[in-house]
Amino acid sequence: MPAQLDQIIIIDIEATCWEGTPPPHQESEIIEIGICTFDIATAKPLTKDSILVKPERSQVSEFCTQLTTLTQTQVDQGIPFRDACALLKDKYLSHKRVWASYGEYDKNQFQKQCQSRHIPYPFSSNHLNIKTLFAIVQALPKPTGMAGALEILNFPLEGTHHRGGDDAWNIGRIFSHIILTARN
Ligand code: AMP
Ligand code: MG
């Protein structure tokens, strides 16, 4: 099926985490899915959204709250991961569009979590890694993190770093710069 080339869906997830390895009987799970829709015609980020997901096999640690600002109370109000995947398809046509993330982490975590829970993978196989693209376009010696990319572009970080919606939006701004530079 050819990809629907009206929008690109930019995804940034947050997951339960700890300073080192997970404690016994816990595993890293998606707790927030940030989504930025990106208009291909104008090469601009369009909308920003955040889906909170209730973890089933782990709890939000103090470390995780410090990193993301997300608390257990907040994610307890989230929806099941299965419903979040269905929402991505229904609302964002995630299975029909090209989608993008900053690095491979978001894709790997989605694949792992869908596989282990027998949940249909909500994305097409058409994935763009904006971290690699940015390093190539800028001729960097090695890929840099999202905050580093914003610094190189002299773009102030908008919103809260390590919140999915804000991260996805900021990645959209980086991607916009890449595309507009290529078109000019
Ligand atoms: P980010 O998109 O950079 O906010 O990171 C996505 C997820 O990666 C976070 O929600 C954490 O689960 C994990 N992560 C990021 N940075 C760290 C860190 N310094 N230590 C442990 N986990 C991290
Ligand atoms: Mg993030």
pTM of structure: 0.98
List all residues whose CB is within 6 A of at least one atom of ligand 1: 12, 14-15, 17, 28, 67-68, 162, 167
Please name each of the domains of the chain with its CATH number.
4-183 (3.30.420.10)
Distance CA 116, CA 95 (A): 19
Q: Which two tokens stand for residue 108?
A: 């790997």
The ligand placed nearest to the CA atom of residue 65 is 1
Residue-wise pLDDT for 6-65, tens only, equals 999 999 999 999 999 999 999 999 999 999 999 999 999 999 999 999 999 999 999 999
**pLDDT at residue 114, as a whole number:** 98
Ligand 1 centroid to Cα of residue 184, in Å, is: 35
Which mutation among 70, 101, 162, 174 tests ligand 1's pocket best, with the greatest number of atoms within 8 A of CB? 162
